[in-house]
Homo-oligomer: A and B are copies of this chain.
């Protein structure tokens, strides 16, 4: 265990933590006491048919999703029981930095998107007896989990909204994530994962932040000086006062756990590598929602997958922030688009069991 205040209730809360017991992982490892951190909004109704599930993205937590939820909006806690689940490795759920020996730190086992989704399935079915999900929605790695849900549990997911992410990670994206990984592991302070405090890896975390600053935003974001959206006054401050402090607060091994998982997100593994077959099994109504300026999940990659999903539509979100549009820094300019699309999706009648 490393104490890291970034993952505390004060900074990321409120959230609950539930143990789902032993989780056997696809790659062969075991998390013997798998703790899943989550936050709920609203009440589960009697029919248990008002569930919205939101998994988190790379380096994100349930805190990030607050901006997507609100009374009178699409994700309305007055109507829905909304469960935001922090992915394994997020720093809130079981993660390298908060796990005991023998899976502490660099010894944490490899986790796949499918492990997360199976863990979330256990949480939802065993804790609340949920058998049907009105909507799974997530951005980036949250989109990977959303796709995994729709393919793995087709009889349970009525609607799905993957934002700025893919069902099968591309090789370009794999390489991009490699550059993030190597930014961290190349830091002598990383010590093969045996650092004592994330500050020892700050050089690597800063490089990691700067690579995000190029591919995570958009060329036009800088041209139009949109860094102001993130509460800073200069382009240099966007790096040193927003990007670097953000990633330097995080645990390197946690980030690497998520990065490895991200690189291998692929729903087709359930169907022997046949992506068309895998996506063809989806029963949910799916709105595929790429962001137009996203540099590594471009619209065309998402559109190609959408065409393989029977009951689906492509809904492109406009955001000059590119992938970081997910942060909702643009306020209503971004969230109004998302809310409108999700409202329409939630109004669609779906019958999974005809």
Contact = CB atoms under 8 A, between A and B. Distances in A.
Nearest to A186: B186
A119 to B, nearest CB: 31
8 contacts: A171-B235, A172-B218, A172-B223, A175-B214, A179-B207, A186-B186, A186-B204, A215-B215
Copies of this chain present: 2
A175 B219 contact: no
A295 interface: yes
Interface string A283-318: 000000000000110101100100000000000000
B214 A179 contact: yes
A113 to B, nearest CB: 20
A77 to B, nearest CB: 37
Residue of A179, A183, A217, A298 with most partner-chain B CB within 10 A: A179
A182 B170 contact: no
Contacts of A179: 179, 207, 210-211, 214
Interface residues of A, number: 36
A79 B302 CA distance: 49
A331 interface: no
Nearest to A203: B186
A220 interface: yes
Given A210-B182, A211-B179, A295-B295, A222 B172 contact: yes
Contacts of A295: 295
Contacts of A210: 175, 178-179, 182
A170 B235 CA distance: 11
Contacts of A304: 223
A310 to B, nearest CB: 23
Nearest to A182: B207
B223 A301 contact: yes
A175 B217 CA distance: 11
A301 B172 contact: no
Contact of A186 (B207, B219, B301): B207
A221 interface: yes
Interface in A178-204: 178-179, 182-183, 186-188, 203-204
Given A172-B214, A175-B214, A175-B239, A219 B182 contact: no
A309 B330 CA distance: 33
B219 A170 contact: yes
A104 interface: no
Residue of A171, A183, A188 with most partner-chain B CB within 10 A: A171
A199 to B, nearest CB: 17
